[in-house]
Amino acid sequence: MLSPQNPISSTLIFEAKETEMSQKRKNSNKKQKIKVISLFSGCGGMDLGFTGGFEFLGKKYTKNPFDIIWANDFNEAACRTYAKNIGSHIHHGDIWEMINANKIPENADVVIGGFPCQDISVNGKGAGVDGKRSGLYRAMVEVVSRTKPKVFVAENVKGLLMKHNEESLRRVLTDFSALGYEVSFQLYHAADYGVPQTRERVIIVGTLPSVPKFEPPKATHSKEKHITAFEAINDLANVDEDESFNHVWSRANISGEQGNRRLIANRPGYTIRAECHGNIQFHYDLPRRISMREAARFQSFPDDFTFESKLRETERQVGNAVPPVLAWHVAQSVKKILK
């Protein structure tokens, strides 16, 4: 038998301990994952931002400790895109049916979601949270009530802050606050965070009393440093149409309202809309509308994120999404208070 002082035996013991320690580190990393439930997930813009680990316009956005354990959306095509790019944990179907059938996990550390905005949007019918779509925020309230996450993050359009939606905003904040959360909200300009688009969105965050107060992420780009349309898409100007890359564009004729807008090369792109029916903005230089890949660039999706749908449905998915880069910055602030 080898003695304890034998170098071969010592090496074996050392390697065994290293293996054991390595396994413990792996198990520890798994335990440190922050469990997330995602609602109204769409194609996964907010979810990609929270998970991180992607690159956009040459900048790497590091992996985050968030583990999305369950996601849901009513749009089947969006679910296909989500499954391909993010994971098979997406569940297609009506959120209330999922809730009533107890198909949602019983607990999570974080609940995220951009509840529908059609009734709140400037282009909507003005029904506010009494509308059929925007009233779905109550489903998010119900999920938060059942799962008691430490933090929830809800996203919606700037219109929620307008005077005619004052009552809607009050009700949303009151309903979440009634669950015992400290609730705050802020208007974010996506271009201030490295998204090449003039997109303004409201993000509502709620925290339990046991969690430190949420502090919004600080802007990373001043107005003078906003990423321009030229910087975002100029490398695609001479690229042929390619459906597999979503580099296809609408042939819709010039129409009223926003249908005849042309990008300005030295400023960020205009807000990408979900319901423009092919009337998306024109390229700043070329005699065509922007492609879906270019629209995805304006939303800060990485180029390896591909959409599992035809042009019109892709347009809807891109326009409805939360810009992943903006979501990534919000996730950093959430991560800080959950450490």
Residues with a catalytic annotation lie at 117
Rounded Cα–Cα distance for residues 198 and 189 (Å): 7
Rounded Cα–Cα distance for residues 246 and 204 (Å): 32
DSSP SS3 for 304:
coil
Rounded Cα–Cα distance for residues 6 and 8 (Å): 6
Could you tell me if 292 and 307 are in contact, meaning their C-beta atoms sit under 8 angstroms apart?
Answer: yes
Task: Give the number of other Cβ atoms within 10 Å of residue 194's Cβ.
Answer: 22
DSSP H helical ranges for the chain = 7-32, 45-51, 76-85, 95-100, 137-147, 166-177, 229-233, 292-298, 311-320, 324-338
Rounded Cα–Cα distance for residues 139 and 111 (Å): 12
Q: What is the DSSP letter of 163?
A: G
Q: Smallest Cα–Cα separation from 293: which of 243, 252, 328?
A: 243
Burial of 221 (0-12, 13-18, 19+ CB in 10 A): middle
Phi, psi of 230 (to 5 degrees): -60, -50
Residue corresponding to tokens 């993010």? 86
Q: Hey, which residues does 157 pair with through a beta bridge?
A: 201
